[in-house]
Amino acid sequence: MFDLSYTEEQLDIRSRVREFVEKEVKPISIERDKILDPEEAFPWDIVEKADAIGLRTLPLAEKYGGGGLDGQTTAMVIEELAYGDMGVGVIFHQTWKWVLLMQELCTEDQIQKYLIPWRDDPRGMIALALTEPVAGSDNILPCLDVKAGMQTTAIPEGDHYVLNGMKHFISNGYCARLCLIFARTDPNKPVNEGCSLFIVPKDTPGFSVGHVDDKIGERLADNAELILENVRVPKENLIGEWNKGLLSTARVLRYSQAFAGATCLGAAQLAFEKALDWAKTRVQGGKPIIEHSNIQERLGEMWAAIQGCRLMYMKAAWAADNKQYFDPRLATVVNPFCSEKVMKVTLDALQIFGGYGMDRGLGVEKLVRDATIFLHSGGLNEILFMSAGNALGREPYSRNWLCA
């Protein structure tokens, strides 16, 4: 059954991650955020230090030399990392969910050829590329017009596939050395019936990084263009079934939205704690502002929102671990629900700080900027809610809280 009590092992992991965040992440977060060049801002030092203590490979199965964490524990770790800096949380959660996908969909030969070298690379990161300049939301719904959706192509040629096209807004696109690329393999079918997924190492000839995005927030994580010009990949690099790329990954990406919810909640938790501490010490009207009823009400709402979001993402992660209880409708709405609550929490924190919140040195305005990114991460919130509503209209509805 769904249980939020932590085991001794989970408490030990959380303690070690918190120590890492306090020592390595929080001290560099605000200053690194100020670096103008997004490539220079990327925290390779954090990645390497995480690798040195076994953090980078936590969700990799124990039989492959990883930590073997379940999804619920991994989500907890992601929130702790994002508490230190949301961008750092994104770097790892983006890699970890693709590790889980590869372990479930890849052949043993593919795992040995690509995941084991990733395990042994202190800078090993993974990216998955779906979004394109003219194809974003219509990949997610997806649109049934055969002209809609991704335009990157993969054409069989001998014992290879030849990939051509461009992806953009790709998380870890700059830092990843191993990429999973969606490409159209049947242009005469809708995107959900005519695309496939391929393993493409970054050093493959014809594969390059284009523009690295200069974002308003979440600046320690990178998003970038990926350019494919006659990129030849062996046929054995196909992941899952031909033409079933979106359908097969949809079944496997059970953790994606839960991990996203955990990431943005890390920023909300930090914003709340900053606001609470400020309210206890900031004096107006002859007393600390926490003694004013309007501040009490605002803090109470912030705290309640955080508790609700944590329950939601933890339940989604638990259901992903226990597939018999997994409900894709819940998985779809975790990120948009949490991101909207987190946006409000960070804005409320900014209001509690008043004019002082605009000072970049205090880090409150940074949390607001970070929160804006998750209103679009993994798909527009409106599109994700629409997808869940579409499913509710098609499928039987149950009041059983465990699975609906």
Q: Report the CATH number at residue 43.
A: 1.10.540.10
Would you state the pLDDT for residue 107? 97
List the one residue out of 356, 128, 161, 85 whose CA is nearest residue 248.
128
Are 99 and 131 found together in one domain? no
Query: The domain that contains 369 carries what CATH number?
Result: 1.20.140.10
Q: How many CB atoms lie within 10 A of CB 292?
A: 14
Whether residue 75 lies inside any domain: the answer is yes
Whether residue 1 lies inside any domain: the answer is no
Show the domain range for 341.
254-394
Per DSSP, what are the bridge partners of residue 165? 228
Are 276 and 223 found together in one domain? no
Would you state the pLDDT for residue 209? 98
Are 262 and 321 found together in one domain? yes
Whether residue 356 lies inside any domain: the answer is yes
Structure-token match 């918190």, residue found = 18
Are 182 and 293 found together in one domain? no
Are 282 and 195 found together in one domain? no
Are 193 and 260 found together in one domain? no
Whether residue 399 lies inside any domain: the answer is no
pLDDT in tens, 275-298: 999 999 999 999 999 999 999 999
Whether residue 60 lies inside any domain: the answer is yes
Would you state the pLDDT for residue 404? 41
* Angstrom distance (rounded) from CA 69 to CA 58: 6
* Angstrom distance (rounded) from CA 392 to CA 404: 10
Are 259 and 381 found together in one domain? yes
Q: Is the pTM of this model over 0.85?
A: yes
Q: What is the mean pLDDT of residues 200-223?
A: 97
Q: How many domains does the chain have?
A: 3
Could you say which of 191, 212, 247 is where a domain stops? 247
Are 68 and 137 found together in one domain? no
Are 239 and 272 found together in one domain? no
Q: What is the mean pLDDT of residues 106-127?
A: 98
Could you say which of 106, 123, 140 is where a domain stops? 123
Whether residue 3 lies inside any domain: the answer is no
Are 94 and 179 found together in one domain? no
Are 388 and 268 found together in one domain? yes
List the one residue out of 336, 322, 313, 311 whose CA is nearest residue 387.
336
Are 131 and 240 found together in one domain? yes
Whether residue 215 lies inside any domain: the answer is yes
Name the burial class of residue 5, with classes exposed (0-12), middle (13-18) and buried (19+) by CB atoms within 10 angstroms of its CB: exposed
pLDDT in tens, 8-40: 999 999 999 999 999 999 999 999 999 999 999
CA distances from 298 to 162, 280, 347, 349, 350 (A): 56, 14, 11, 9, 11
Query: The domain that contains 171 carries what CATH number?
Result: 2.40.110.10
Whether residue 262 lies inside any domain: the answer is yes
Would you state the pLDDT for residue 397? 65
